[in-house]
């Protein structure tokens, strides 16, 4: 009988041979073998793992160095290509005429496999999207104008109180309270009431839930089973290990209970009288197949809708506000333009009216550009036909990605890309240049963020009415606190999390 030492040696030899054969295949026989890039990245995922998991979201900068050395197309791991060319973004994120599947390695990172974001197959994604697309059309979102005005008024009251009480504001939390109220109202027909709760000025469980998910983003990609392990673990232990992960699971549990309660109510409802007034109504409509109305699906979809509809929009508004409050000339110029629509500080204007203002549009676009949306690679796969980039034929089934960050910070498209410059959009419009195609905070194509119209309406209306009414000054916040130093799904500063603190210095009277 083989003793233990011999067995260990044999197993070690087998592992070594398998490893060498795998490395040889990936270097010389793999369909991506001819593409440029570091050989270590072609052989093993450890290269990416080291920078994204061990070093905490730093692979984006290593990819940038690869492009400087190897050119615009690089093999960044054994199975994925990265293209650093903004003109190619629309090919990767193609429209409905081209099938694009989601890379399973990225779909699992969001911890919501039953949601739109977690749907891998192109046709399945298209079906699921069809249940909700009408609710996010521009026409449908325009009907929300009175409700958004109501929430902006509540935010104005909060800022007025902060002025009189000399309170320091956490602007991204204030804006997140507004966006959370809007998306929960639109999803369920009633709001969570974040703006009614003074505690939301210091803490927001939806923001914390998104932060918890982003903390695990790269770990989920490499070890997707850990999400299930954390979900099954006692929440006291999870909160001790990672408080924001506990917030995520608490939100998901609450949404699951809401889904279960709603399904019970709908079960006995007369189908002939069924009203589909909210997003959640649409998800549980009688026309939706039973397999698409499971509790797991409803929980995942709700979590992603609420998270995406809260944090990223609030971040874009906060970025614009930070730069405007740091440049008085810029904020005064915007206010003068706003006076053409908002005659006095108490006036109201719709998204339709506000989006016609060139300088405001520039400020909105710069906020989206410099907040980036997701900074992580969101690889797409062409399942049946090759993609073509320059002289390169990319085999079907290959994950191909391009980080939003590289598009938004491209120096040829956006000279001095770190600079917040609304005028660049005014100049581009005057020249007939369609610079807006390079705002990819919502991605592009058939998998573009469903809530793009809702986000734009909230950003335009909030930014316009707040700038028209208040002057702010930053408090213990610098440009470094907003800069992308590391990438964990979203861009994060060198230490801590994204945040903009400010004080109200004046309330406009005319």
SS3 of 310-330: the string is HHHHHHHHHHHHHHHHCCHHH
For 9, other C-beta atoms within 10 Å of its C-beta total: 12
Q: Between 483 and 211, where is the model more confident?
A: 483
Burial of 442 (0-12, 13-18, 19+ CB in 10 A): buried
Residue 2 pLDDT > 60: no
End-to-end, the C-alpha distance of the chain in Å comes to 94
**pLDDT tens digits along 451-473:** 999 999 999 999 999 999 999 99
Query: What is the pLDDT, as a whole number, of residue 1?
Result: 47
The whole-angstrom separation of Cα 117 and Cα 217 is 13
Buried b (16+ CB within 10 A) or exposed e, 303-323: bbbbbbbbbbbbbbbbbbbbb
Q: pLDDT at position 105, please?
A: 87
- Picking from 394, 408, 382, the residue whose alpha carbon sits closest to that of residue 487 is 408
Tell me how long the chain is.
Answer: 510
Checking if the pLDDT of 405 tops 90, the result is yes
* Range in 262-271, 296-305, 311-320, 402-411 the model is least confident about: 262-271
| Weakest-pLDDT range from 236-245, 268-277, 429-438 | 268-277
Burial of residue 416 (CB within 10 Å: 0-12, 13-18, 19+) is exposed
Q: Is the pLDDT of residue 389 over 50?
A: yes
Q: Report pLDDT for 284.
A: 85
Architecture of the domain spanning 87-322+329-372+432-507:
Orthogonal Bundle (1.10)
- The domain segmentation of the chain, as residue ranges, is 87-322+329-372+432-507
Summarised one tens digit per residue, pLDDT across range 138-155 is 999 999 999 999 999 999
Give tens-digit pLDDT for 65-120.
999 999 999 999 999 999 999 999 999 999 988 999 999 888 888 888 889 999 99
The arithmetic mean of pLDDT across residues 330-337, rounded, is 96
pLDDT in tens, 206-220: 888 888 888 889 988
The percent of residues above 70 in pLDDT, for the chain, comes to 96
Collect all residues with Cβ–Cβ distance below 8 Å to 264 and sequence separation of at least 6: none
What are the tokens at 130? 């069809």
Q: At 161, list the tokens.
A: 């109180």
Cα–Cα dist 111/226, whole Å:
10
Name the pLDDT band for 282 (thresholds 50, 70, 90).
confident
Report pTM. 0.93
């Amino acid at each position: 009988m083989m003793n233990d030492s011999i067995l260990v040696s044999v197993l070690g030899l087998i592992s070594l041979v398998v490893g060498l054969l795998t490395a040889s295949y990936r270097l010389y026989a793999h369909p991506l073998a001819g593409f440029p890039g570091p050989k270590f990245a072609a052989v093993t995922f450890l290269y990416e793992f080291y920078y994204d998991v061990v070093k905490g979201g730093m692979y984006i900068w290593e990819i940038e160095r690869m492009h400087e050395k190897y050119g615009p197309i690089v093999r960044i791991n054994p199975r994925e290509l990265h293209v650093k060319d903004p003109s190619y973004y629309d090919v990767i994120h193609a429209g409905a005429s081209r099938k694009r599947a989601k890379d399973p390695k990225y779909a699992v990172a969001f911890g919501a496999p039953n949601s739109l974001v977690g749907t891998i197959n192109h046709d399945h994604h298209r079906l699921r999207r069809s249940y909700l697309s009408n609710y996010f059309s521009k026409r449908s979102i325009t009907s929300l104008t009175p409700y958004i005005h109501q929430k902006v008024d509540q935010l104005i009251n909060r800022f007025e109180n902060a002025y009189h009480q000399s309170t320091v504001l956490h602007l991204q939390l204030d804006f997140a309270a507004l966006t959370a109220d809007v998306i929960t109202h639109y999803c369920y027909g009633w709001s969570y009431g974040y703006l009614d709760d003074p505690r939301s000025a210091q803490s927001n469980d939806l923001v914390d839930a998104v932060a918890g998910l982003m903390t695990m983003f790269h770990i989920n990609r490499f070890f997707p089973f850990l999400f299930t392990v954390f979900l099954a673990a006692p929440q006291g232990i999870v909160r001790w290990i990672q408080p924001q992960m506990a917030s995520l699971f608490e939100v998901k549990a609450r949404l699951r209970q809401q889904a279960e309660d709603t399904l019970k109510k709908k079960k006995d409802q007369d189908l002939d009288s069924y009203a589909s007034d909210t997003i959640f109504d649409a998800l549980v409509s009688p026309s939706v197949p039973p397999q698409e109305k499971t509790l797991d699906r409803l929980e995942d979809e709700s979590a992603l809708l609420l998270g995406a509809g809260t944090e990223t929009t609030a971040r874009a508004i906060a970025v614009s506000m930070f730069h405007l409050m740091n440049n008085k000339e810029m904020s005064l110029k915007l206010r003068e333009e706003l006076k053409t629509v908002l005659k006095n500080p108490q006036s109201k204007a719709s998204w339709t009216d506000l989006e016609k203002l060139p300088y405001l549009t520039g400020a909105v676009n710069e906020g989206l550009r410099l907040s980036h949306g997701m900074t992580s690679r969101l690889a797409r796969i062409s399942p049946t036909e090759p993609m073509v980039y320059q002289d390169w034929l990319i085999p079907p089934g290959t994950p191909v990605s391009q980080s939003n960050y590289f598009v938004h910070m491209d120096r040829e498209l956006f000279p001095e890309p770190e600079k917040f410059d609304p005028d660049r959009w005014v100049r581009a419009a005057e020249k007939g240049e369609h610079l807006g195609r390079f705002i990819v905070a919502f991605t592009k194509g058939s998998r573009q963020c469903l809530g793009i119209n809702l986000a734009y309406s909230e950003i335009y209306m909030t930014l316009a009415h707040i700038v028209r009414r208040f002057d702010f000054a930053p408090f213990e916040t610098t440009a470094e606190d907003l800069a992308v130093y590391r990438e964990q799904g979203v861009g994060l500063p060198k230490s801590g999390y994204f945040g903009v603190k400010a004080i109200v210095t004046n309330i406009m009277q005319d």
